[in-house]
Structure 1
């Protein structure tokens, strides 16, 4: 591996067989798989660097967002939502590191409904049916058997073991997560394997989350695929390097991609590709790069001074994303407190100004006995996690889920997902990550979000949105973030489904086992505007208003370079030889669930397509 894996120094050569742009959820898979053949020379060019050590700790996930070292820190125009968000802007977290957003996400391993992929096959994605893609999910996976006690359903025939990607059932099993599944069952959503071959029909299924973790640590595509490949001499990884343009040359009657130009430390460097360039920069970055390279709507390119090399009106269009509404409830005896979580993260999470320990560890010598005991317990817990993978640090606290059909349309799949966050989080997380001012959302934020508050958040999430947004350039400079118009709730159908999913979430809460949990915390201004009193059932108008003010992205952006419009079913950019796109942007439409697993599958399929076209020999193949 070239030294450029950890620095932007120029590589030893500027000529490769394949150049992969973006080392994220798909790109890392493609680079690792292709270099299984020692004859092929692959360059992987990544704008970020190696993940920081705390990326491996699931419970530290919130600290990664808004960190410019690992997050692009984009925001977007939420369209028909976001009325209550700071500056009316939606956060758009995107991973900027090796592993990409698989190192930034909450590690939910959700493949999608079988009908999603059959729908792809019928809509420009020939060869992408469920039967076609299932073996690629299995190829990646190394599913760890669920730990006792029983109560988790696994469809063994649909899962794999021995693959590079660690997958585990959420552990430890929190009270909130197990009770959520019981409550969902009480409403008619049975326990099941949502990654199984039949996701339960219209009634769906509920479960603890399966997660991309191995022995309590995050299993991003960096850890799972790239780390085992780092010593391969035919893999060159160039980090802290942002690709400005795919180089295009006239080839007969059309165009051919011949390489890329990237920027690092103020210098530009050109790399040449003898066989292919593969763009895997994600649903925001991939259309941005195609547009900067002159592939896209000609009129829009002219507006920002980019020469149009190939007029395609679909590049950057058809953006799909998932949107969920945080519904907060007091849950004494059920929820995790932030104090309990902080102790599990280790002493540094307990330091001033937010915590009781001194800001400077050098001042710990004089701790009173109760604080010395607190520090010792924090050290014990974080050491246990580091050595065994056990404890709360192994959870992102996004712990359980239910999928089902509302019956309002999209009957080929499930159009509804409801997730559970087993804690209420902190005021700073609400204010900065969610862009929600706690005093606007909670009648008493000091109580609802105190360190010892027991609050859970239920997250209703329509997963087959009809509304479409777009990604556009604001200039011809790659350093300028693109304009992201999310356009949520523009289609009235999405509003109807959102209210229905929120209703089902409230029904689940009403069927909570044991002593139950408290009433919905309705933002005071919305409660007043709709004449709502605590404990009564909210009206449909209130639920819609709540969604339009405080719904949040699940950051599942997809479909901006979709199959059938920008790329063909082999992921080749239509009209350009030697150029493919492989990431969530190629999805004909977004899957009905979290998108990371399907993006990894796309990387697996792309690697085999490239290998097949160039007679490469991979360690194993599906098709």
Structure 2
């Protein structure tokens, strides 16, 4: 393996995998893609297995954050911050919602000085990646979509009936059924639809699966270095001539290596990793760097600042006759998902020969369903169960876009996801968590999500040790505007439930018992604003959409070059001038596509 390449791309995730794939299309250039994790495991491809990829140190950085004014009902008052640690990055551990954002989001970027990033200028890059599978289940603005691109985009099959009911209920509140990824997302009243997801034939289409796997990763001019924890960017020159010459990384055995770039180093390590690497390299706020004994090579005060993220608050309902039991998801995931200690089958498959008839039948059914998924892609496990959505305006501010999103989950999930992955204290969230989350229970969740938050946080270094996790301060609800918007969205979610179609209706909202007592709430009442605020402050959780920590204008130019440092760019969610009004993965992939063209043009 050589130690010098034309381009070094740091991070093989949502943007980095795209950049490496596109740059290496030119056989005359050499590209090194450097990734801290490895190849994704096979179960990464099963959409419903998403939670199993979190809290796994081989696939997740497993960061936690200070939630600011939120998180009062989370264990240890810590917000989980899962980040993908493998080829595909967070596109391999996310819930696969394919959401581009409102056209007004990108026009606002352009108005903030991000020349070349208006909606009409970024739309070709969304279309370039996309391969949208036809579906009669959704409205599609055909002119705004692409086909034949590497990234699979589809609607789950079969559609869960309750998800269709959510869309009908949202329509009954005044929204329009439409294409939220179209050239227009409608007026303030909003749009509702089943989710478009980054899946192909019922399987996850991460950026590894879509852009690298197979012939691309076998290209002679593309070297993929896995298990490589980047410690810093190597810099040459001083002052006006400062420039990147390569990177230094530690391998899985702790040995230090250096690789060099003739043309450019591109940081695509994400909204946490990219500012961390810049600061470890001596690029960032001088006083903060010197406080952890790092010599400041180039002062950029905004590195790690302006952090934004989406929060949602889970409104949980019992839903007999509507919701999907977790047990059914387990059977559809195959026999291994049913094994002890959590399931009824023995931990050791060798013991299956002694199964009683009822368990033998259960295993056979699990094998049948798993086989069907492999063959056809049609299965209960063909999505994360985050299956329908609506976007609208609360009227409280931000008229350029929609400030509200409500996601629908036709399942109550389980203690592993709610309690372990999201860190919700289940003993305070439910009156009886074991009974409510029993595998055979039918529940559903509406996720109230203010998507244009005003509050900002920051990422700083805990020390100069590259292997130490950075300090992530989310600062949620610091701006009181965000809590006001959250309450308005929670009320809209309750209105949607009140308009549920058909004779079978969802049960009452789960109100955490201590909060119910504090506010004098009786089941079935309309909750007060004060109660909803308290629910939000206690049980809001991250939507995993961290961005803007190296944003265009403050840290990088509109062509993503680091201000004041030559041969160095950043290209990932950290460069977003502001957060978009929806899930951020599609926009991160778009940034990778546009970055590759900017680099080629240079």
Q: TM-score normalized by structure 2?
A: 0.99
Are the counterparts in 2 of residues 328 and 521 from structure 1 also a CA contact under 8 Å? yes
SS at match of 1:181: helix
Are the counterparts in 2 of residues 175 and 335 from structure 1 also a CA contact under 8 Å? no
In the alignment, structure 1 residue 168 sits paired with structure 2 residue 157: no
Partners of 1:435 and 1:529 lie apart in 2 by 23
Partners of 2:313 and 2:23 lie apart in 1 by 40
Partners of 2:69 and 2:385 lie apart in 1 by 29
Partners of 2:312 and 2:516 lie apart in 1 by 20
Corresponding residue number in structure 2 for 1:62: 51
Matches within 5 A, 1:517-596: 517-596=506-585
Partners of 1:230 and 1:187 lie apart in 2 by 48
Corresponding residue number in structure 1 for 2:194: 208
SS at match of 1:23: coil
In the alignment, structure 1 residue 355 sits paired with structure 2 residue 343: yes
Corresponding residue number in structure 2 for 1:236: 223
Matches within 5 A, 1:112-123: 112-123=101-112
SS at match of 1:325: strand
Partners of 1:470 and 1:611 lie apart in 2 by 32
SS at match of 2:537: helix
Partners of 1:410 and 1:251 lie apart in 2 by 43
Corresponding residue number in structure 1 for 2:247: 260
SS at match of 1:270: strand
Q: Which has the larger displacement, 243-252 or 500-509?
A: 243-252
Partners of 2:125 and 2:479 lie apart in 1 by 34
By how many angstroms is 1:447 displaced? 2.2
Residues 435-458 of structure 1, C-alpha deviation per residue, up to 9 Å, x if partnerless?
112221111212210100001010
By how many angstroms is 1:428 displaced? 2.4
Partners of 1:241 and 1:521 lie apart in 2 by 45
Residues 145-199 of structure 1, C-alpha deviation per residue, up to 9 Å, x if partnerless?
01xxx44101111000000000001322112211110110000111110000010
SS at match of 1:548: helix
What's the RMSD between the two structures over aligned residues?
A: 0.9
In the alignment, structure 1 residue 109 sits paired with structure 2 residue 98: yes
- List alignment gaps of at least 5 residues for structure 1: 1-11, 614-623
Partners of 1:576 and 1:364 lie apart in 2 by 62
In the alignment, structure 1 residue 158 sits paired with structure 2 residue 144: yes
SS at match of 2:154: strand
- List alignment gaps of at least 5 residues for structure 2: none
Corresponding residue number in structure 1 for 2:122: 133
Residues 239-278 of structure 1, C-alpha deviation per residue, up to 9 Å, x if partnerless?
0001101011116723111100001121111111000000
By how many angstroms is 1:362 displaced? 1.2
Partners of 1:348 and 1:248 lie apart in 2 by 49
Give the one of 281, 289, 296 matched to 1:301.
289
Corresponding residue number in structure 1 for 2:412: 424
In the alignment, structure 1 residue 273 sits paired with structure 2 residue 261: yes
Corresponding residue number in structure 1 for 2:485: 497
Q: Which has the larger displacement, 99-108 or 220-229?
A: 220-229
Corresponding residue number in structure 1 for 2:184: 198
Corresponding residue number in structure 2 for 1:5: none
SS at match of 1:211: coil
Partners of 1:510 and 1:141 lie apart in 2 by 36
SS at match of 2:230: strand
In the alignment, structure 1 residue 21 sits paired with structure 2 residue 10: yes
Partners of 1:170 and 1:112 lie apart in 2 by 21
Partners of 2:160 and 2:239 lie apart in 1 by 62
Are the counterparts in 1 of residues 239 and 298 from structure 2 also a CA contact under 8 Å? no
Corresponding residue number in structure 2 for 1:438: 426
SS at match of 2:177: coil
Give the one of 163, 166, 172 matched to 1:180.
166
Give the one of 578, 588, 591 matched to 1:602.
591
Runs of 4+ in 1 over 4 A off after TM superposition: none
Are the counterparts in 1 of residues 157 and 377 from structure 2 also a CA contact under 8 Å? no
